[in-house]
């Protein structure tokens, strides 16, 4: 299969069940909401070592936020509800509460819930105030900028992590240009995030390693410098490979995001150094969800 | 199915306890059974159809037409459904209510929403004393839910209230929010004397500066309160009668008290005060 002269490999992306939550961060200005959102999504590229995967989902105008201020929607994914319960309150406490003028609210309202302000309230040292409005419980924690308002809990939902595709290009510059555009298109799809820095993975991994203490190591089959040295997936003209990993709330949104991203990358074509699109998988034995590239692009 | 309508044939001479006429209690009963239900009327018990003509069949939606202040216990302990009252209502509207919606197109008596734990009561008229308060013997007053009064409310609004929101568009009487344990009371016109007397926690929001604040409250100054942004935005999305909250901003003069009690309550005056009071 070829799109705009770019070869689409007959392969699939292998993804895993995860748990996800969404939080809404508001602040006096969008700039300061971004400061908090960027802080909470820091060091959250992969569950391999970060505890969770997180990214900004979208900006929210004041009419769409609980308190009528500009806001940012952030989604956080982890392998279990327990992992989210550990990561989310800690990140909200250190990244959101510490950012000037912010407030933090639940963005998913399911029955399964994890703490948000439930334990952060103790920072108020006895001066915290609980308020229930329209069935939702909030904590008012007196802080030096005024009041940090935080919803008590946020909902958790089933999700999928690890939808992906690889962009095989002539040089790193060509790959990066196409991937930047692909991420831009993916960000228009609701309910998905691309948690790696800038949405792009520069060092895609395989499961396991020759070293027993490592659970993941470099994906040598796609490393251009090892083309003649290992069993490589790369042909001579490929000089750089970048990966885009997508986490989403269901299969449909991941497929939509993959399709949007691949088409955006393919639009550059071989003339601009984009030769092939492939995907990362583990032989189909590890992940519950298989996203076949050619099916998605039909 | 159409709304179950009870129309009062003649104004009752004595107090009539209509607490059995709730969506939960009437669910599963036939028309004949509903007609023969017995209500306390003064010292005696009488069947429903002696004082009401009955039409419709859906007990989830009840309407009481021609109501008057002799009808007590409307929506007592109800858990779901709606009750719409055309006319005045007596005491104890929505007492121990646990869910659903009561709407009164007239005045309501004392103890409206007393000790309710959820649901919503809208009164398009005035409310009597002890709105959302706790009955003697109950540990707390209202413990969740929402009460809206388009007119004025009597004394002791939210006495011993524990959670929930009371919104009064008109005036509130004396001792508004007395002995509150928590919750929120909003008065959009004047409140009487001794607001917040003995309150331990909770919030009383007064749109207009009261004539006096009891001396056991301390000024915390004029502030922009993030909580008010949240509260007003959330309320303004809860029905057309709350759209008025769009015009209020986060600025308030905060008083904390009652220092003679736990002292963690607050009175927020939306009309900010230039000099300390």
Distance from CA of B44 to the nearest CA of A (A): 41
> Does the pTM of the predicted model rise above 0.90?
yes
| Closest by Cβ to A132, choosing from B163, B226, B229 | B163
CB of B165 within 8 Å of any CB in chain A? yes
Residue B51 in tokens = 């004082």
Quote the longest CA-to-CA distance of chain B: 67
Establish if B7 belongs to a structural domain: no
d(CA B232, CA A62): 13
| Closest by Cβ to A147, choosing from B144, B227, B264 | B227
CB of B224 within 8 Å of any CB in chain A? yes
Residue of B229, B256, B263 to mutate for A, most A C-beta atoms under 10 A: B229
Establish if B222 belongs to a structural domain: yes
CB of A104 within 8 Å of any CB in chain B? no
Say what the ipTM of the complex is. 0.91
CB of A145 within 8 Å of any CB in chain B? no
CB of B86 within 8 Å of any CB in chain A? no
* The predicted structure's pLDDT at residue B59: 93
Q: pLDDT for A151-164, tens place per residue?
A: 999 999 999 999 99
CB of B220 within 8 Å of any CB in chain A? no
Establish if B78 belongs to a structural domain: no
Establish if B203 belongs to a structural domain: yes
**DSSP β-ladder status, B165-168 and B146-149:** parallel
Residue B203, CA distances (Å) to A27, A36, A131, A258 in order: 23, 29, 9, 50
Give the confidence band of A285 by pLDDT, cuts at 50, 70, 90: confident
Establish if B33 belongs to a structural domain: no
Give the confidence band of B277 by pLDDT, cuts at 50, 70, 90: very low
CB of B234 within 8 Å of any CB in chain A? yes
Establish if B241 belongs to a structural domain: yes
Contact A148 B264 (CB under 8 A): no
| Closest by Cβ to B226, choosing from A65, A103, A133 | A103
Q: Is the pLDDT of residue B273 over 80?
A: no
Domains, in order of start, for chain A: 2-14+160-296 (3.30.70.520), 17-157 (3.30.70.520)
Establish if B74 belongs to a structural domain: no
| Closest by Cβ to A66, choosing from B184, B223, B230 | B230
Residue of B98, B226, B234 to mutate for A, most A C-beta atoms under 10 A: B226
Contact B231 A131 (CB under 8 A): yes
Establish if B38 belongs to a structural domain: no
Contact B203 A132 (CB under 8 A): no
- Crossing angle of helices A251-266 and A172-186, rounded to 10°: 140
Mean pLDDT of chain B: 95
Q: pLDDT for A118-127, tens place per residue?
A: 999 999 999 9
| Closest by Cβ to A133, choosing from B225, B231, B266 | B231
Give the confidence band of B275 by pLDDT, cuts at 50, 70, 90: very low
- For B144, nearest residue in chain A (alpha carbons): A132
Q: pLDDT for B162-213, tens place per residue?
A: 999 999 999 999 999 999 999 999 999 999 999 999 999 999 999 999 988 9
Closest to B131 measured CA to CA, from B100, B154, B152: B154
Distance from CA of B52 to the nearest CA of A (A): 35
Closest to A108 measured CA to CA, from A74, A69, A61: A74
| Closest by Cβ to B230, choosing from A129, A138, A146 | A138
Torsions phi, psi for A253 (to 5 deg) = -70, -30
CB of A49 within 8 Å of any CB in chain B? no
Segment B261-265 long-range contacts (CB within 8 Å, at least 24 positions apart): B261/B179, B261/B198, B261/B199, B261/B200, B261/B216, B262/B199, B262/B200, B262/B201, B263/B200, B264/A127, B264/A129, B264/B200, B264/B201, B265/B177, B265/B180, B265/B196, B265/B199, B265/B200, B265/B201, B265/B202, B265/B203, B265/B204
CB of A132 within 8 Å of any CB in chain B? yes
| Closest by Cβ to B233, choosing from A68, A127, A146 | A68
CB of B235 within 8 Å of any CB in chain A? yes
Residues of chain B found within 8 Å of residue A71, distances taken between Cβ atoms: none
Q: pLDDT for B212-236, tens place per residue?
A: 899 999 999 999 999 999 999 999 9
* Number of domains chain B contains: 1
**Of the candidate ranges A270-279, B144-153, B234-243, the one whose mean pLDDT is the lowest:** B234-243
Range of the structural domain that residue B166 is part of: 107-269
CB of A68 within 8 Å of any CB in chain B? yes
**DSSP β-ladder status, B203-206 and B184-187:** parallel
């Amino acid at each position: 299969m070829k799109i705009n002269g770019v070869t689409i490999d007959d392969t699939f992306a292998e993804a895993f069940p995860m748990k996800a939550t969404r939080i809404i961060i508001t602040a006096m200005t969008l700039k300061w909401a971004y400061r908090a959102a960027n802080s909470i999504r820091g060091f959250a590229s992969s569950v391999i070592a970060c505890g969770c995967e997180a990214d900004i989902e979208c900006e929210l105008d004041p009419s769409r936020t609980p308190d009528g201020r500009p806001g940012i929607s952030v989604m956080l994914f982890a392998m279990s509800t327990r992992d989210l319960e550990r990561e989310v309150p800690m990140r909200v406490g250190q990244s959101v509460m510490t950012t000037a003028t912010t407030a933090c609210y639940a963005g998913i309202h399911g029955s399964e819930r994890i703490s948000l302000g439930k334990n952060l309230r103790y920072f108020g040292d006895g001066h915290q105030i609980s308020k229930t409005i329209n069935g939702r419980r909030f904590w008012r924690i007196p802080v030096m900028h005024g009041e940090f308002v935080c919803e008590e809990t946020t909902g958790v939902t089933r999700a999928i992590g690890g939808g992906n595709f690889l962009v095989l290009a002539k040089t790193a510059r060509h790959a990066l240009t196409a991937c930047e555009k692909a991420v831009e298109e993916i960000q228009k799809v609701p309910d998905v995030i691309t948690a790696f820095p800038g949405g792009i993975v520069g060092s895609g991994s395989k499961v396991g390693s020759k070293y027993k203490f490592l659970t993941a190591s470099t994906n040598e089959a796609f490393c251009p410098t090892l083309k003649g040295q290992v069993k490589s997936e790369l042909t001579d003209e490929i000089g750089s490979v970048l990966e885009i990993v997508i986490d989403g709330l269901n299969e449909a949104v991941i497929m939509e995001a993959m399709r949007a991203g691949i088409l955006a990358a393919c639009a550059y074509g071989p003339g601009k150094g984009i030769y092939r699109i492939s995907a990362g998988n583990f032989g189909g034995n590890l992940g519950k969800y298989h996203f076949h590239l050619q099916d998605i692009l039909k | 199915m159409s709304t179950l309508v009870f129309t009062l044939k003649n104004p009752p001479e004595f107090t009539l306890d209509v607490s059995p006429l709730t969506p939960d209690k009437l669910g599963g009963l036939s028309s004949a059974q509903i007609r023969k239900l017995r209500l306390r009327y003064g010292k005696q018990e009488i069947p429903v159809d002696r004082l009401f003509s009955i039409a419709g069949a859906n007990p989830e939606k009840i309407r009481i037409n021609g109501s008057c202040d002799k009808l007590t216990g409307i929506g007592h302990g109800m858990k779901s459904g709606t009750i719409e009252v055309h006319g005045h209502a007596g005491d104890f509207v929505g007492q121990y209510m646990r869910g659903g919606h009561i709407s009164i197109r007239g005045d309501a008596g004392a103890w409206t929403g007393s000790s309710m734990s959820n649901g919503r009561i809208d009164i398009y008229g005035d409310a009597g004393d002890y709105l959302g308060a706790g009955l003697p013997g109950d540990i707390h007053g209202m413990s969740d839910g929402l009460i809206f009064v388009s007119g004025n409310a009597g004394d002791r609004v939210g006495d011993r209230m524990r959670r929930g929101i009371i919104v009064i568009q008109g005036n509130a009487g004396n001792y508004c929010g007395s002995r509150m344990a928590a919750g929120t009371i909003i008065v959009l016109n004047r409140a009487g004397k001794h607001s917040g007397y003995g309150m331990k926690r909770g919030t009383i929001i007064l749109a207009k500066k009261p004539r006096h604040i009891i001396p056991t409250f301390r000024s915390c100054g004029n502030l922009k309160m993030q909580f008010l942004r949240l509260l007003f935005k959330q309320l303004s999305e809860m029905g057309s009668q709350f759209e008025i909250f769009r015009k209020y901003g986060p600025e308030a003069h905060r008083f904390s008290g009652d220092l003679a009690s736990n002292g963690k309550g607050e009175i927020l005056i939306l009309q900010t005060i230039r000099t300390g009071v």
